[in-house]
Amino acid sequence: MYVNEWQGDRVTIRAEVAVPAPLSGARLRDAYASFLRTFTLGLVKCRGQSLMLGPFEILRFGKPTVNRTTVDWPIEGGILAGGAGGRWRIQYRGGHVEASVVGYLPRLPRPLYVVSQLQVHLTFTRLFLLRLRGRDPLPTGVAAPPDRVRAATVDAALCMTLTRLTGRRSLRRFFAIAAVYHVACWSSTGQTLGGMVLRQRVVSVDGSRLVPGQALLRFALLPLSWITWQPLHDRVAGSTVVTK
């Protein structure tokens, strides 16, 4: 579930996922810090209560409040914040973990924030929550590898055809068309043409629809999966392919 609400210039964002076991506030705090380091390959680091990208303090938090089921940070500033106020909270409740930003004031104008920082935040939060859930159990009806290859072959043929129809054939144009095509399909219906033919659909490991950033990450890692013959794109993006 994903909710995005505005009150004036301040935004509230909520996302949640079902998890197999209860998680304490301290466990959630530590898991978030660990995932931040891993996912950003160490580019974003925690220094005190600040998130640092190189020499830049992108966000500054106050001291977190940690209790039995929740960790809660007040937002105090940073170059991405338009001012102090709002909170970043991760909470376990009723079999679910909810991550929420409440009353945050972005520095960017709303239209620019919606297409940039919001998408990064949503993708990062979504992947963090799916990591907490884990890949066990996967949704029922996971597609067999040979059928996934057949579907991918149909999609590759379609993208090559679209590249030829644009008049100029180039590898760069092919990958641009393939990226737009796959990300749009995966983040809307979950089905490409190959998926329709083979009756397959791409979903998150909890059975929900992929967000656009998650779909883009999945596509970007596809070449590595083809080289290693391992579904690395699904492992990192928290996704899988199911049959309809």
- pLDDT tens for residues 98-114? 999 999 999 999 999 99
Residue with tokens 């033919």: 197
In the chain the domains, ranked by start, together with CATH numbers, are: 2-133 (3.30.530), 145-243 (no CATH)
Mean pLDDT of 191-214: 96
Mean pLDDT of 5-17: 96
When the pLDDT of each residue in the chain is averaged and rounded to a whole number, the result is 94
Burial class for 210, CB neighbours closer than 10 Å (0-12, 13-18, 19+): buried
1 falls in which pLDDT band (50, 70, 90)? low
Mean pLDDT of 119-147: 94
Confidence check: pLDDT of 2 > 90: no
pLDDT top residue among 3 and 192: 192
Confidence check: pLDDT of 4 > 90: no
pLDDT more than 90, % of the chain: 91
Residue with tokens 């990226």: 179
Q: Report pLDDT for 132.
A: 96
Residue with tokens 């940073």: 78
Mean pLDDT of 80-88: 96
Confidence check: pLDDT of 169 > 80: no
